Structure 1
Amino acid sequence: MGFQDKGQRHGSTLYSEVTDQIIAQLEEGILPWVKPWDDGRVPLGLPRNGQTGRCYSGINVLILWHMVFDRRFHWQRWVTYRQALAMGGHVRKGEQGTTVCYADKFIPKRNDAEQASGGEEPRQIAFLKRFTVFNLDQCEGLDDDSANGPVTRNEAVLIPRADALIEASGADIRIGGDEAYYAPAFDHIVVPPPHIYYEPINWYRTALHELGHWSGHPSRLDRLPKTSFGSPEYAREELVAEMASAFLCAELGIVPTVRHADYIGSWLSVLREDSKAIFRAASQASKAADYLMNFLPPTEAGEDRVSEGRLAA
């Protein structure tokens, strides 16, 4: 079932635009979901709506992160033109906005009536809708309360939040050896001990990556592929776990120094064949990150996310 944007051309264009941009970055060896958070300019974390404070999710995270670093913005907060006015400020004249989107479904009235009369479930049609948002750097009269927060939060005092999440998940994590992997058949994770990492902070990035896979078990989000290493489905799952780890690291204040790019070739193959693949993977990565963050107490889990299907903009 394809997506439509009140006449599919707009949705298809957006899929192609975003996918082509990510392909270009991967071809240069750049992972779009991993950014130099410790460059001293922008607070660590996921992009948030400046009025509601809720996180964007899915493909919108990649779109907004790219713009933050491409245009050297200082904030992770974004608002629509109307929201800026409602908050007592305004978007500066001449500023160019950034397109974000949400995916949702609707039931055509004719289709609804026809199938209802035949006793069938109405057929839903998915669509993709665009919104334009502006970074707080592009606005006047607005303040970002997060500006006073730490830009980099690698301090050991904050890493226990990741420890708390890992423990609260209840995942069977076995420390040892020199390989990291998730074994679906036995539902356990194997991660090398932190001391063998050149910089122990990277242990968290690895553990969260494997927890991303763990979240896809049939008893949880039921997402894992039935195929083996090397298949397109396997590459898609690695892409989901990679982005889920990046989203979790951003939320937990972890800035890993290692950049795992082992699957770039297979990711490129998947994205070149399907312009919607990165949208699906990013959406699943956000669902995995949400699932894992929810193991933390409400006061620790942070603010609500805004998914593509619930974009409060």
Structure 2
Amino acid sequence: MARTNTTSRTDSDRTDLYQSITDKIITELEAGRVPWVQPWASSKASLDMPRNGKTGDRYSGINILILWDAVVANGFSTNSFLTFRQALALGGNVRKGERGTTVVYAHRFTPDSERRRASEDGREPGSIPFLKRYTVFSTDQCEGLPDRIAAPPPPVPEGLIRPEAEALIAATGADFRIGGDRAFYAPGQDYVQVPRPDAYFDPINWHRTAFHELSHWVGGRSRLDRDQTGAFGSKEYGREELIAEMGGAFVCAALGIVPTVRHADYLGSWLDIIREDNRAIVRAASAASKAANFLLDFRGELATDQPDTGGPTTWREAA
């Protein structure tokens, strides 16, 4: 009986956590604020992806949105966070009276009983998803930390943003075509098309559009293989657009390009999707994070000249 109560309480806690995250996102969207497009111009922190100050690891998925909100709402000067114990391990501490930010850890585990049954049945064991809360603090909320941890990163130099974006797109090897009057990813032919940069009122929007469409490209069958079969206006289509919007915003942030909403007209459909399923925003943020990481991993190839493999031509003028 005690085991059943514990399981029930755990399931309830997990559901409450999904719901609390979902409720916060809905509140933001209903107010016309898009959580993955923060008002960075008024922020004290440089645009960057949130990361752990001790390990240097980047936070992913829904935690990006949670921590970006904390950075802007609290006026933090950095996107660096630590747990209470990590601050102590670094020789510092969280200042008395500071309130942390709750982030989540999503994973799966396989109970021993399931392993035994699977072994007896000759099949692969199943796993159970779980979501766990933990608290982190901005390095601004700590004292006594080493300078290399506490100092906010310098802003990205003005002239490095666009060349880095261009280099990243080229490094993907994607069939990336410039031209036409609309931006899209064609799954059947596996290419991206984006209008010329001078077709945009604000040229910086070209970069945001490019990474939005490349986030769709990442979901192609030979890469992350997301379901991209939804017809325009369907919930499946809306989910894919939500993933691409966040994925593009995450890549822009990593490159120092301030993200904005490219498809604000989808706001209503995103709200419908999130209201219907309190896990939808967590799943979408996770998929967007995977898409952004897939693209950003190509930065490792930028330092090395790549041989001509005869693959798709990049940066070509669309017919």
The answer, yes or no, to whether TM exceeds 0.5 is yes
Give SS of 2:126's match.
Answer: coil
User: Of the candidates 46, 57, 61, which is equivalent to residue 49 of structure 2?
Assistant: 46
Instruction: Tell me which residue corresponds to 2:127.
Output: 124
The one-character-per-residue Cα deviations of 1:261-287 (angstroms, maximum 9, x if unpaired) are 121000000000000001111001011
Q: Return the offset for 1:260.
A: 3.4
Amino-acid identity (%): 55
Determine whether 1:231 maps to 2:222. no
Once residues 105 and 230 of structure 2 are traced to their aligned partners in structure 1, the CA distance between those partners, rounded to angstroms, is 30
Instruction: Tell me which residue corresponds to 1:292.
Output: 295
Determine whether 1:108 maps to 2:111. yes
Instruction: Tell me which residue corresponds to 2:152.
Output: 147
Once residues 254 and 246 of structure 1 are traced to their aligned partners in structure 2, the CA distance between those partners, rounded to angstroms, is 9
Instruction: Tell me which residue corresponds to 1:182.
Output: 185
Maintained 8 Å contact 1:271/1:278 = yes
Larger Rg: 2
Instruction: Tell me which residue corresponds to 1:72.
Output: 75
Q: Return the offset for 1:123.
A: 1.7
Q: Return the offset for 1:222.
A: 0.0
Instruction: Tell me which residue corresponds to 1:303.
Output: none
Once residues 29 and 148 of structure 1 are traced to their aligned partners in structure 2, the CA distance between those partners, rounded to angstroms, is 30
Once residues 161 and 155 of structure 1 are traced to their aligned partners in structure 2, the CA distance between those partners, rounded to angstroms, is 11
Asked which structure has the greater RCO (Cα within 8 Å, sep 6+), the reply is 1
The answer to which structure has the higher helix fraction is 2
Q: Return the offset for 1:297.
A: 2.0
Instruction: Tell me which residue corresponds to 2:267.
Output: 264
**Residues 299 and 130 (structure 1), Cα distance of their counterparts in 2 relative to 1, 3 Å cut:** farther
The one-character-per-residue Cα deviations of 1:212-240 (angstroms, maximum 9, x if unpaired) are 00000011100033221111111010010
Q: Return the offset for 1:141.
A: 1.2
Instruction: Tell me which residue corresponds to 1:304.
Output: none
**Residues 248 and 104 (structure 1), Cα distance of their counterparts in 2 relative to 1, 3 Å cut:** same
Once residues 186 and 245 of structure 2 are traced to their aligned partners in structure 1, the CA distance between those partners, rounded to angstroms, is 17
Q: Return the offset for 1:131.
A: 1.2
Unaligned runs of 5+ in 1: 301-313
- Aligned-partner residue type, residue 147 of structure 1: P
Maintained 8 Å contact 2:168/2:302 = no
Instruction: Tell me which residue corresponds to 2:4.
Output: none
Once residues 125 and 164 of structure 2 are traced to their aligned partners in structure 1, the CA distance between those partners, rounded to angstroms, is 45
- Aligned-partner residue type, residue 154 of structure 2: G
Q: Return the offset for 1:148.
A: 4.5
- Bigger drift between 32-41 and 58-67 goes to 32-41
**Residues 219 and 148 (structure 1), Cα distance of their counterparts in 2 relative to 1, 3 Å cut:** closer
**Residues 298 and 140 (structure 1), Cα distance of their counterparts in 2 relative to 1, 3 Å cut:** farther
Maintained 8 Å contact 2:209/2:262 = no
Maintained 8 Å contact 1:201/1:256 = no
**Residues 124 and 40 (structure 1), Cα distance of their counterparts in 2 relative to 1, 3 Å cut:** closer
Once residues 287 and 163 of structure 2 are traced to their aligned partners in structure 1, the CA distance between those partners, rounded to angstroms, is 26
Give SS of 1:127's match.
Answer: strand
- Aligned-partner residue type, residue 248 of structure 1: V
**Residues 155 and 36 (structure 1), Cα distance of their counterparts in 2 relative to 1, 3 Å cut:** same
**Residues 257 and 272 (structure 1), Cα distance of their counterparts in 2 relative to 1, 3 Å cut:** closer
Determine whether 1:59 maps to 2:70. no
Q: Return the offset for 1:250.
A: 0.6
The Cα RMSD (Å) is 1.9
Q: Return the offset for 1:157.
A: 3.0
- Bigger drift between 269-278 and 223-232 goes to 223-232
Maintained 8 Å contact 1:45/1:76 = yes
Determine whether 1:207 maps to 2:242. no
Instruction: Tell me which residue corresponds to 1:35.
Output: 38
TM-score by length of 2: 0.88
Q: Return the offset for 1:138.
A: 1.3
- State the number of aligned residues: 295
Give SS of 2:136's match.
Answer: strand
- Aligned-partner residue type, residue 275 of structure 1: N
Maintained 8 Å contact 1:111/1:122 = yes
Once residues 297 and 118 of structure 1 are traced to their aligned partners in structure 2, the CA distance between those partners, rounded to angstroms, is 44
Once residues 74 and 223 of structure 1 are traced to their aligned partners in structure 2, the CA distance between those partners, rounded to angstroms, is 36
User: Of the candidates 155, 161, 168, which is equivalent to residue 171 of structure 2?
Assistant: 168
Maintained 8 Å contact 1:43/1:146 = no
Once residues 236 and 220 of structure 1 are traced to their aligned partners in structure 2, the CA distance between those partners, rounded to angstroms, is 18
Unaligned runs of 5+ in 2: 1-6, 304-319
Structure 1 runs of 4+ aligned residues shifted over 6 Å read none
Once residues 225 and 36 of structure 1 are traced to their aligned partners in structure 2, the CA distance between those partners, rounded to angstroms, is 31
